[in-house]
Structure 1
Amino acid sequence: MLVLSRRIGESIVVGASAERVTITVLEVRGDVVRIGIDAPRSVRVHRAELLEQLAETNTEAASPSKDAVDSLTQALRDRR
């Protein structure tokens, strides 16, 4: 992990010219830092905690409960 120190108004640039992302420190209040992110539309920018929550939700949705599987199995048997 690259660790950099920046002051308010200073930026970090990531990537090449076509896919360049600029991250600028906007404000610091105690232990909270506001940043601005300038990126092309093709570059998705997400908060890490939302990606973790989405991955967890997708895993739950892809793993049905035993009751749901049993119910579906019974419904399929009843159709025969």
Structure 2
Amino acid sequence: MLILSRHKGQKINIGDNISITVIDVVGDQVRIGIEAPPDISIYREEIYLAIQDQNKSAVNLDEDVANILSRIISSKKD
């Protein structure tokens, strides 16, 4: 992990097309602005983890539905 110190108004560049700006610092809270191309998704960690959980749940649901349909098709063949 790269650790940097920045002051209000200073930027960090990631590659050629992502820029992070320190907007404000109040106590232990830092506000940042992120500029990135529209094809780059940017999420707070808790939102990203929730999306990952939902995706895993959807995959499990798809497997359950596939198993149920398979049983229905098998029972109709018999």
Task: Classify the TM-score, shorter chain.
Answer: 0.7 to 0.9
Identity in percent: 36
Q: Which runs of 4+ in 1 moved over 6 A?
A: 67-70
Q: Distance in 2 between matches of 1:75 and 1:13?
A: 55
Q: Distance in 1 between matches of 2:74 and 2:19?
A: 58
Q: Supply the RMSD in Å over aligned alpha carbons.
A: 2.6
State the Cα deviation string for residues 26-79 of structure 1 (Å, max 9, x = none): 111222111001112232222222121111111112113xx8677545543554
Structure with higher helix content = 2
If the length of structure 2 is used for normalisation, what is the TM-score? 0.74
If the length of structure 1 is used for normalisation, what is the TM-score? 0.72
Q: Which residue of 1 aligns with 2:39?
A: 42
